[in-house]
Copies of this chain bind each other. A is one copy, B any other.
Amino acid sequence: MNSRHIMAAFPAATDAQVTLANWRQHPFSEWAFRNVRELLPTANIARSPTPTSLTFAQCYLEDVTFANPRGDTIGLGEALRTSHTDGIVVSHRGRVVFEWYANGLTPDTAHLVFSVSKSVAGTLGGILADIGKLDVDAPVTRYIPEMNGSVYGDGCTVRHLLDMSVGIRFDEDYMARAGDVINYRRSTGWEPPDASIPPIHLRQYLQTLRPDGTPHGHTFHYVSTNTDVLGWVYERACGLSYAKILSNYLWQPMGAEHDAYITVDSHGAARVAGGISATLRDLARLGEMMRNNGVSNGRQVVPGWWIDDIRCNGNAGAWSRGDLTKVFPNGNYRSKWYTIERGQPPFAAIGIHGQWVYIDPANDMVIARVSSQPLPMDLDLDHMWLRGYRAIASRLAGKS
């Protein structure tokens, strides 16, 4: 199947038709990840009427080299073309120095960012905390009394949601054919209708989740539903839908150039943990804002103390007891952002199938990359791209 033929006829050929039954499988995903709105109901996240302008200063970077998963040296151009990357924007000292699009993506096309959505939610949390709308140390039940009786009612605070340290029984196995992840996705509308299962919507499903016996705050346990609960907390705190909160407090103040959007379930609940689609340039603006300590377009959009806290106050012990030490052995996680290597500046938002916003403050560099990698988790590609990001940073530093 040549991916250019996907959805290219009316109707598409049988093996080129994207539906809810195949949309996250490659090669269907290439079309699907930039057309989520045509597959699912979505809520709009309105752009700014006065977008933050980008400046461009093109650098030739295609010959930056790094090791591929087999240990061979390849250039950036080859890496992009062979890793299912759909697009990348590199900014250095606030200017876009490299931009590349493939597989139908364009500067105007929003792409699904999966769990980069979580970092967006974590960033929004700092904004709401700073203006007093959100108490991150409050129990979740202060905002959502319905959570009494669930894992989120048992002493669980907003901070535990932010830091993925809820003691929850949930197996976040993206390859599973049944169980937690499937039940969860079904509640968000991401699975095709299944007549044999009684329908349950997201906010109902979240109330069914139960503890695993681990004390909250003890262990980094990566579970998407925590972030959906967080978004629900924001809705109760603000009296607005998640999409409106995100637009009003972050997307517009940041100066986004394009509308973003987020998938919603049958009852209007946003898939806060992974449902945002946005353009690469707006992801680059997000990264630049984080690099600039929360300032975008001359305006303090995210409080600087929140970003300092993200970069300094992750719980290393919780991380080392947690799920993702195979990905980043000495990493950390705070307010839904990853520190790649404790004690070093780079931090990142990361989503499955190859979505990244990588921020390297020491090298004044931001990289936004979106992809349709066939595997949800692909450590070989993740580590290749980390090498790639570092090689790009070195090249740019050498040029300064």
Contact = CB atoms under 8 A, between A and B. Distances in A.
Contacts of A312: none
Contacts of A42: 37-38, 42
- Residue in A10, A20, A37, A266 with the greatest tally of chain B CB atoms within 10 Å: A10
Contacts of A236: 10
Contact of A241 (B10, B40, B193): B10
Interface in A5-40: 7, 10-12, 17-20, 37-40
A155 interface: no
A10 B232 CA distance: 7
Contacts of A232: 10
Given A42-B37, A43-B38, A10 B235 contact: yes
A40 B37 CA distance: 9
A269 interface: yes
A241 B241 CA distance: 31
Given A11-B203, A236-B10, A268 B37 contact: no
A264 interface: yes
Interface residues of A, number: 31
Contacts of A19: 266-267
Question: Can you tell how many copies of this chain the complex includes?
Answer: 2
A103 interface: no
A235 B7 CA distance: 12
A268 B41 contact: no
Contacts of A43: 37-38
A39 B41 contact: yes
A292 interface: no
A281 B119 CA distance: 36
Interface in A248-280: 259, 261, 264, 266-269
A195 interface: yes
A44 interface: yes
A3 to B, nearest CB: 16
Given A193-B193, A195-B195, A267 B11 contact: yes
The list of the 10 closest CB pairs from A to B, nearest first, reads A195-B195, A10-B235, A193-B193, A11-B203, A38-B43, A38-B264, A38-B41, A39-B41, A40-B41, A37-B42
5 contacts: A11-B267, A12-B268, A38-B42, A38-B264, A39-B41
